[in-house]
Amino acid sequence: MPELPEVETVLRGLEPRAVGRRITGVEIINRGVIIGDPVSFQKHLTGRLVAGLRRKGKALAINLVANGAIHGDCLLVRLGMTGQVVVTRRDAPLLPHTHVRMILNRGAGEIRYRDSRRFGRLRYCTREEVEKVFESLGPDALEMTEKQFRDSLHGRHGSIKAWLLNQQMLAGLGNIYADEALFEARIHPQTPAGKATDRQAGALLRAVRQVLRQAVALQGTSFRDYVDIEGRPGNFLPQLRVYQKTGEPCVRCGAAIRRIIICGRSSHFCPRCQRRPRHRPVQIAS
């Protein structure tokens, strides 16, 4: 599941391979992954130079140059659940679920977009469009200040878990790192977001940063499909302490990890280390 660390890993891998190269051709195998008109997508990308990359949360923008002029337009990539961006030789066998190929000049091979579940999307964006998308996201989880974090929690009635997953609050966390950060901060996932104390908010932000930074350093988590642009899995999997560990002993206290459903998403936590809040949770597991 690509979350912030996985998208950051893709960005870092793509940078040396794509920046400074020209896209000489675009082949759309499955138009379902393209937002907008596929023909105009092709037209806007073909012949363009890749100027640089930019990320906010899980959104990746590949900035484009035309005739030496930067217009601020870009290719926006959202990987969804199973999206993969890989750079391969042009003659590499076409793997299943390859939906788009973008050929790079000077023998740099091609960028391929693969996605078995097709939740991910590629979209050509003008400067205005990409700004609008980025503005709709909360602060990037690694850039957020403690004040922003506390202010944003204030007055929120849903659970802290749902809040962490809400990309308009902070951008970059998905189910894996949300569960891991809550465990690290010893906060019960059903704690009402607005009821978190300053102390808990501080601990949670530190936990979010720590988990994400470590995951970036280890090139992400490959739970099922995620690979980097060279096709390599991430190395964070052995670091997981609660995600998908239902019934296993907590690494801190030995209690059995529990799984409950919050907002239709599974939440894994230690019932002893992460105490249920005194206040009745607003959100009940369905």
Partner DNA sequence: GCAAGCCTGACC
Partner DNA sequence: GGTCAGGCTTGC
- Which residues bind to DNA, rule: CB under 7 A? 1-3, 32, 57-59, 78, 80-81, 96-97, 116-119, 121, 156-159, 162, 165, 167, 174-176, 243, 259, 261, 263-266, 282-283, 286
Give the nearest distance from C-beta 3 to DNA in angstroms.
6
* Burial class (CB within 10 angstroms; exposed 0-12, middle 13-18, buried 19+) of 118: middle
Give whole-number Cα distances, 203 to 43, 232, 240, in Å. Answer: 48, 33, 18
Select 108 or 113, whichever has its Cβ closest to DNA.
113
Select 1 or 26, whichever has its Cβ closest to DNA.
1
The token pair at 101 is 């190929």
Do residues 196 and 187 make contact, with C-beta atoms less than 8 angstroms apart?
yes
265 has catalytic annotation? yes
192 has catalytic annotation? no
| Active-site choice (265, 271, 272, 277) | 265
Select 22 or 195, whichever has its Cβ closest to DNA.
195
3 has catalytic annotation? yes
Report which DSSP code applies to 276.
P
Select 67 or 286, whichever has its Cβ closest to DNA.
286
* Burial class (CB within 10 angstroms; exposed 0-12, middle 13-18, buried 19+) of 280: exposed
12 has catalytic annotation? no
Bin 264: left if φ > 0, else alpha if -120 < ψ < 50, else beta. left
The helix/strand count (H/E) of the chain reads as: 7, 11
Give the nearest distance from C-beta 183 to DNA in angstroms.
14
Give the nearest distance from C-beta 153 to DNA in angstroms.
10
Give the nearest distance from C-beta 109 to DNA in angstroms.
25
| Active-site choice (21, 48, 55, 58) | 58
Give whole-number Cα distances, 93 to 52, 89, 90, 96, in Å. Answer: 28, 9, 9, 9
> Annotated active-site positions, please?
2-3, 58, 265
